[in-house]
Amino acid sequence: MKPLAALDQERAARVEVVLFDLDDTLLTHGVLTREAYGALWDLSEAGLSLVAVTGRPAGWADVLARQWPVAGVIAENGAIAVGKRAPILGPAPERPFEVVERVRAARFPHVRYADDNAARRTDVTLDVGEHAHLDLPTIEALRGALVAEGLRVTVSSVHLHGTRSGDDKASGALHFLRGLGIDAGAARARAVFVGDSGNDAACFAAFPLSVGVDNVRAWVPRLSVPPAFVTEGARGAGFVELAETLLRARPRRTAGP
C-alpha cells in the first residue's frame, strides 16, 4: 500500500464516483462526525457522485438514500441497492435464520445477533465487534461452521454476515452503476473505493483506485488484495483526508457574473 499522499493529482482529478464503506470508514466507532458529513457534502457539491457500499441493512439504505447527498446506497454487502431513482435490486433470497441459529445455539451460544437484523432482507448478522468483541479464532471458527452449512460469509469490523445471496460489494456496486449509465470499464477507470476491512475485499480487488483508511492495516494479513493506497487518518478522519485529496485535484469552479 502506498500513502495517499503519493496519489498523483492527474489520477485524482479523473475520479467522478466515490464508493465508500460506512462502519469504521465514514463512521468513527459508529458516529458520523461533523467533519465526515461535511466532506460528503463538499464532494457532492464539487460534482462527484457518491455511493455508500455497506454491510448495513436495507432499512438503513432506504433512509440514507433519501436523506444523504448520495446517488444511492448498496446494502447487505451487495445484495440490495437503493437509489433516489433506482429500485431495490432483484428478489431477495430467503434469509438463512434456521441455519445460523442452529449453528450458533449448538457451538457458539455466547455469540449474539446484531441489533439491526430487523431491518435486513437477505442476510443474518452476528455481532463480532460492535457491542461484543470476539477474538479472531472464534470469528474464524464461526465463519467456517457457517460456510460448511453452505452459506456465503463475510466479516466486517463489526459484524459477521451469513447469506444465500451470490452478490458481494463489488458486484452490487457495479450493477448499481450500470443503472446510472456507467459500465464496468468506466466505473473501474473513474471510481475510487474507500473501505477498512474484510467485507471490502471484493472492492479492493475490483477497483484499481482503492483506498483504505489507516485502520485497514489490522486487516491486511487477511486480505487477498489490499487497497492500493492508505490514509494517515483512521476511520472518519481518513475519509475526510481522501475527500480533501480529491477536492484539491479538481478544477476550481468559478463564480458566475
Question: Do 116 and 228 lie in a common domain?
Answer: no
- Residue 255: pLDDT band with limits 50, 70, 90: very low
pLDDT at 93: 83
Question: Do 181 and 232 lie in a common domain?
Answer: yes
Mean local confidence (pLDDT), 154-158: 97
Q: Is 76 domain-assigned?
A: yes
Question: Do 85 and 171 lie in a common domain?
Answer: yes
- The secondary structure of 154-185 as a DSSP string is EE-SSEEEEE-----HHHHHHHHHHHTT--HH
Round to whole Å and give the CA distance between 59 and 176: 17
Spatial contact of 173 and 186, defined as CB atoms under 8 Å apart: no
User: Percent of the chain scored above 90 by pLDDT?
Assistant: 91
Specify burial of residue 149 (Cβ count, 10 A radius: 0-12, 13-18, 19+): middle
Spatial contact of 66 and 85, defined as CB atoms under 8 Å apart: no
Question: Do 82 and 128 lie in a common domain?
Answer: no
pLDDT at 257: 47
Show the domain range for 115: 97-163
The DSSP symbol for 31 reads B
HSE (side-chain half, CA atoms, 13 Å) at 32: 8
Question: Do 172 and 81 lie in a common domain?
Answer: yes
Question: Do 72 and 124 lie in a common domain?
Answer: no
Tens digit of each residue's pLDDT (9 = 90 or more) over 199-239: 999 999 999 999 999 999 999 999 999 999 999 999 999 99
CATH classification of the domain holding 113? 3.90.1070
Mean local confidence (pLDDT), 117-144: 97
**Residue with grid cell 454476515, as numbered in its chain:** 161
Q: Is 141 domain-assigned?
A: yes
pLDDT at 61: 95
Q: Is pLDDT above 60 for 247?
A: yes
Q: Is 230 domain-assigned?
A: yes
**Residue with grid cell 479472531, as numbered in its chain:** 136
3-state secondary structure of 109: coil
Question: Do 12 and 107 lie in a common domain?
Answer: no
Q: Is pLDDT above 50 for 173?
A: yes
Question: Do 102 and 82 lie in a common domain?
Answer: no
Q: Is 108 domain-assigned?
A: yes
Domain C-terminal end among 163, 182, 216: 163
CATH classification of the domain holding 85? 3.40.50.1000
Question: Do 126 and 227 lie in a common domain?
Answer: no
* Antiparallel, parallel or unpaired: β 159-163 and 152-155: antiparallel
Spatial contact of 35 and 239, defined as CB atoms under 8 Å apart: no
Question: Do 190 and 142 lie in a common domain?
Answer: no
Q: Is pLDDT above 60 for 141?
A: yes
Mean local confidence (pLDDT), 30-52: 98
Give the number of domains in the chain: 2
Question: Do 60 and 171 lie in a common domain?
Answer: yes
Q: Is 255 domain-assigned?
A: no
Domain C-terminal end among 111, 135, 163: 163
Total length of the chain:
257
Question: Do 173 and 82 lie in a common domain?
Answer: yes
Tens digit of each residue's pLDDT (9 = 90 or more) over 80-106: 999 986 555 556 788 999 999 999 999
